[in-house]
């Protein structure tokens, strides 16, 4: 039994490293701790760490209220890494990604709905002349098509009538000349669940939406569901890890998140320049709402909006 392994004679504090330990691990850890004590003034978890830990563990052990939603034994659990589409210079070594858990019996469309990408929220159009009339339609509503690419087959989202087959272009291109790709097929996304697919772990696949916003998807793990996992079907696909992106603040007040970006602005010190709503209006429009100076203004959605 466990009593054999832990001496229960005295109370031990897990935070204190025992002095006379023969374990190399503890000696190394002790040195690191001492170094930390010397250099860090306040040693507690920063908010990024708290968020990361919360995200990882918030879904553990949850049970549904409705027994129909209980995940069955023998269900597969996949871990997907969905990479962000932006390519910054500093991301050359490791691209930022978010990690999602999905059940094997879930449809591809459910995953598609759960992917939150900032490009979905973009509002197109230049609105310097009519700042109040920025439309409410975000890109997600206008351009609904999307597809997944797994193992030579394109899974297109065809739930709405305005969804187009984005993969048709690629298929026609590959068939036009003998480019060495096997035949690529195109099917409907809503007819398939993850259990129907045959996938490779660690191999990059694609998710494309908005016509040109491409995300790489990598499957890192497939395993059987465990008693300690979240067993509420409604909560899946569950996000367990997100990359923290710093939001751009308004150039003027440096407090609020930027909502407008201007180009060729004679009133602004740099190009492009970011403003929050209040500062934007105060700077660029007079009391009657007339436009002052020359500029082009676009509504801006910050990538850090999902923090």
Partner 1 sequence: MSSVPGVQADCEELLGAFQEADTVRFERFAELWRERRFHTIFYGRIRALERNKITKKTLELAQQYFLPPYAFQIRVGALYLLYGLYSTQLCQPKQKIRIALKDWPEIQRFQQDLIDSQHYDAAYIFRTLRLARAFLFTAMPKLLNYRTKKKIQENEFKEEFKDPSNRVNSLITNDVLEELMNIHDHYQKMKCVISADKSQPDKALSLIKDDFVVTLKDITLEHHEWQQNRMKLFQNAKETDEIPNRKEEGTLLETEGSERANALARIKYKSYSAVVEVSKSRRHRQVKLESSGSESNHGKSPRRSKKNSGRSQPARRRDSLEIREETVTRHIGMPVITEENSDD
- Residue the block writes with tokens 């027994």: 67
Minimum distance of partner 1 from residue 174's CB (angstroms): 28
Minimum distance of partner 1 from residue 228's CB (angstroms): 5
Minimum distance of partner 1 from residue 16's CB (angstroms): 7
* Contact yes or no for 85/213 (Cβ under 8 A): yes
Choose one: 3-11, 63-71, 139-147, 263-271; the region binding partner 1 (CB under 8 A). 3-11
Q: Please tell me whether residue 22 binds partner 1 under the rule CB under 8 A.
A: yes
DSSP helix/strand/coil, 195: helix
Q: Please tell me whether residue 5 binds partner 1 under the rule CB under 8 A.
A: yes
Answer for which of 11, 65, 93, 178 binds partner 1 (CB under 8 A) is 93
Report the site for partner 1 in 98-157 (rule: CB under 8 A): none
Minimum distance of partner 1 from residue 24's CB (angstroms): 4
Minimum distance of partner 1 from residue 22's CB (angstroms): 6
| The token pair that represents 192 in the structure block | 């398939």
Answer for which of 52, 170, 171, 206 binds partner 1 (CB under 8 A) is 52
Answer for which of 70, 86, 142, 224 binds partner 1 (CB under 8 A) is 224
Answer for which of 142, 222, 255, 296 binds partner 1 (CB under 8 A) is 222
Distances (CA, A) of 132 to 111, 128, 149, 273: 35, 9, 40, 19
Answer for which of 71, 80, 81, 108 binds partner 1 (CB under 8 A) is 81
Quick one: 277 exposed, middle or buried, by C-beta within 10 A (0-12, 13-18, 19+)? middle
Choose one: 45-53, 104-112, 156-164, 264-272; the region binding partner 1 (CB under 8 A). 45-53
Q: Please tell me whether residue 45 binds partner 1 under the rule CB under 8 A.
A: yes
Answer for which of 195, 212, 220, 247 binds partner 1 (CB under 8 A) is 220
CB atoms within 10 A of CB 222: 13
For the chain, counts of helices (H) and of strands (E):
6, 11
Give the Cα separation of 54 and 48 in Å (integer): 10
Helix or strand run (H / E) with residue 215 = strand 213-224
Q: What is the DSSP string of 138-184?
A: -HHHH---EEEEETTEEEE--SSTT---THHHHHHHHHHTT-S----
Q: Please tell me whether residue 226 binds partner 1 under the rule CB under 8 A.
A: yes
Answer for which of 9, 10, 11, 16 binds partner 1 (CB under 8 A) is 16
Question: What letter does residue 133 receive in the DSSP assignment?
Answer: G
- Residue the block writes with tokens 């509504």: 299
Residues that bind partner 1 (CB under 8 A): 2, 4-7, 12, 14-18, 21-30, 33, 45, 49, 52-53, 56, 60-61, 79, 81, 93-95, 97, 201-202, 218, 220-224, 226-228
């Amino acid at each position: 039994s466990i009593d054999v392994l832990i001496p229960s004679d005295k109370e031990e504090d897990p935070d204190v490293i025992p002095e006379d330990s023969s374990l190399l691990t503890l000696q190394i850890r002790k040195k690191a701790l001492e170094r930390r004590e010397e250099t860090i003034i306040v040693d507690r978890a920063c908010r990024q760490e708290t968020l990361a830990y919360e995200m990882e563990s918030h879904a553990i052990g949850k049970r549904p209220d409705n027994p129909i939603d209980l995940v069955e034994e023998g269900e597969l659990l996949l871990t997907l890494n969905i990479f962000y589409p932006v390519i910054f210079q500093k991301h050359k070594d490791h691209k930022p990604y978010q990690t999602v858990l999905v059940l094997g019996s879930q449809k591809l469309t459910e995953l598609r709905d759960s992917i939150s990408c900032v490009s979905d929220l973009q509002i197109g159009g230049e609105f310097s002349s009519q700042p109040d009339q920025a439309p409410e339609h975000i890109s997600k509503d206008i351009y609904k098509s999307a597809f997944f690419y797994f193992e030579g087959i394109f899974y297109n989202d065809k739930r709405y009538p305005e969804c187009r087959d984005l993969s048709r272009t690629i298929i026609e291109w590959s068939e036009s000349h003998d480019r060495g790709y096997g035949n690529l097929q195109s099917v409907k996304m809503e007819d398939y669940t993850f259990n129907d697919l045959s996938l490779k772990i660690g191999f990059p696949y694609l998710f494309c939406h908005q016509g040109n916003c491409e995300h790489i998807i990598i499957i890192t793990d497939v395993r059987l569901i465990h008693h300690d996992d979240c067993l509420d079907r409604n909560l899946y696909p569950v996000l367990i890890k997100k990359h923290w992106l710093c939001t751009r603040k308004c150039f003027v007040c440096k407090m609020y998140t930027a909502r407008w970006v201007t180009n060729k602005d004679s009133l602004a010190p740099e190009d492009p320049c970011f403003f929050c709503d209040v500062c934007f209006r105060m700077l660029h429009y007079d009391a009657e709402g007339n436009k002052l100076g020359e500029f082009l203004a676009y509504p801006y959605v910050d990538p850090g909006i999902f923090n």
